[in-house]
């Protein structure tokens, strides 16, 4: 990329700060709507990191798919299941928190140690294809990655049909007692919650 | 210190931190939607790793970018199916509390 190194470092620092603070906000904020919007910010900053790595096509795909599809889907899910409920307290929450936090910190220290101590086999910077990466991705997708590309399309079709089947609600076509057709309102039919009275 | 560009390790550390934040959220969230968000965070951390390696180690044949595109595809499918499962779970249980989904617990 033809930007000066100082500018790159400033951009990288700002973007990674936004990524990390936004991710902390996603998991720590009480209100889940704020979490969803912060998640969109994290996705945008990750797209910015991709731009710093000379990958304009993947950055565009990230913005389109993650911010445009996944994040909107999550906001819709929040809208559909948003109900204030007072959660029951867990009795041994403190020990659980301690165990999970120590696991995460151990994993983090291990990963950072590997990141810093390993000697990575870096390539020559002047062999880089730079801005031509979109062309190279197209060549890959239609030659040596053709089979995964086609399988991905089948996977997306399966996911679409599966999501429709899973999220569809059952509505009654006709009234049980009178046999007359019922107008299908948007209100869900009052069904007995299954499996809720266990024990 | 005279840097020629951003070191590879900086990207790796950012992705490590993001991955661990995702795991913490996965283990500690009680809202099922937040668990799905944590999974998305972890997938993004993996994507940053792949992109950094493809730019620094394999900068001519950028296979890491192709892998990232496949990961993005699978993540979109996973989010759609996961949220559909969540909706039908909410319809049966009338809650999104992870602690109440204990049907398979013995």
Averaged over successive runs of 10 residues, the pLDDT of chain B (106 residues) comes to 76 96 94 93 96 89 92 94 90 82 78
Question: How many CA atoms within 13 Å lie on the side-chain side of A16?
Answer: 19
A23, B29: Cβ pair inside 8 Å? no
Please check whether residue B97 touches A, CB under 8 A: yes
Residues of B with Cβ-Cβ distance to A58 under 8 angstroms: 51, 65, 68-69, 72
- Cα A75 to chain centroid distance, Å, stands at 12
- Predicted confidence at residue B1, as pLDDT, reads 43
Alpha-carbon gap: B46 to the closest alpha carbon of chain A (Å): 11
In three-state secondary structure terms, B15 is helix
> What are A57's two structure tokens?
């096509």
In three-state secondary structure terms, A194 is coil
Spatial neighbors of A22 by CB under 8 A, at least 6 apart, are: A38, A39, A41, A42, A45
Please check whether residue B59 touches A, CB under 8 A: yes
Q: Cα(A173)–Cα(A166) distance, rounded to whole angstroms?
A: 19
Residues of A with Cβ-Cβ distance to B13 under 8 angstroms: 112, 115-116
Q: Cα(A45)–Cα(A16) distance, rounded to whole angstroms?
A: 7
- Predicted confidence at residue A61, as pLDDT, reads 94
In three-state secondary structure terms, A15 is helix
Phi then psi dihedrals of residue A100, to 5 deg: -70, -40
B37, A73: Cβ pair inside 8 Å? no
- Cα B19 to chain centroid distance, Å, stands at 7
- Give the residue carrying structure tokens 């049966």: B92
Domains in chain B, start-ordered, CATH in brackets?
8-96 (1.10.287.3510)
Q: Cα(A170)–Cα(A19) distance, rounded to whole angstroms?
A: 41
Q: Which residue of A has its CA nearest to B71?
A: A152
Mutate to test the interface with B, among A3, A9, A23 (most CBs of B within 10 A): A23
- Predicted confidence at residue B102, as pLDDT, reads 80
Give the burial string for A110-126 (b: 16+ CB within 10 Å, else e).
ebbeebeeeeeeeeeee
DSSP class of B58: S
Q: Which residues of chain A have pLDDT under 70?
A: 1-2, 170-176, 182-199
Q: Cα(A57)–Cα(A51) distance, rounded to whole angstroms?
A: 9
Phi then psi dihedrals of residue B12, to 5 deg: -65, -40
Option in A50, A129, A152 nearest B60 (CB)? A129
Alpha-carbon gap: B106 to the closest alpha carbon of chain A (Å): 12
Spatial neighbors of A125 by CB under 8 A, at least 6 apart, are: B4, B5, B59
- Predicted confidence at residue A184, as pLDDT, reads 57
Residues of B with Cβ-Cβ distance to A62 under 8 angstroms: 47, 72
pTM of this prediction?
Answer: 0.87
What tens digit of pLDDT does each residue of A135-155 get? 999 999 999 999 999 999 999
B21, A116: Cβ pair inside 8 Å? no
């Amino acid at each position: 990329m033809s930007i000066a190194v100082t500018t790159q470092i400033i951009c990288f620092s700002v973007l990674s700060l936004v990524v990390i603070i936004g991710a902390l906000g996603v998991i720590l904020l009480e209100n889940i709507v704020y979490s969803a919007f912060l998640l969109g910010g994290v996705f945008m900053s990750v797209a910015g990191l991709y731009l710093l790595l000379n990958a304009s096509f993947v950055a565009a795909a990230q913005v389109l798919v993650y911010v445009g599809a996944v994040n909107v889907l999550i906001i819709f899910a929040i809208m559909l299941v948003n109900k204030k409920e007072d959660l029951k307290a867990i009795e041994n929450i403190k020990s659980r928190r301690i165990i999970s936090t120590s696991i995460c910190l151990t994993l983090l220290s291990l990963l950072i140690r590997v990141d810093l101590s390993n000697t990575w086999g870096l390539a020559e910077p002047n062999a880089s294809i730079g801005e031509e990466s979109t062309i190279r991705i197209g060549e890959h997708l239609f030659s040596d990655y053709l089979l995964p590309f086609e399988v991905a399309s089948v996977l997306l079709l399966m996911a679409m049909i599966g999501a429709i089947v899973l999220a569809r609600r059952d509505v009654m076509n006709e009234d049980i007692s009178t046999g007359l057709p019922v107008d299908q309102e948007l209100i869900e039919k009052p069904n007995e919650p299954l499996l809720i009275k266990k024990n | 210190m005279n840097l020629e560009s951003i070191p590879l390790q900086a990207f790796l550390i950012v992705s490590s931190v993001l991955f661990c934040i995702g795991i913490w959220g996965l283990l500690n969230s009680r809202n099922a939607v937040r668990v799905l968000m944590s999974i998305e965070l972890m997938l993004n951390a993996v994507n940053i790793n792949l992109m950094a390696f493809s730019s620094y180690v394999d900068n001519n044949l950028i296979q890491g970018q192709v892998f990232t595109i496949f990961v993005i595809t699978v993540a979109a499918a996973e989010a759609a199916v996961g949220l559909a499962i969540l909706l039908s779970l909410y319809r049966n249980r009338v809650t999104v509390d992870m602690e109440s989904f204990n049907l398979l617990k013995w």
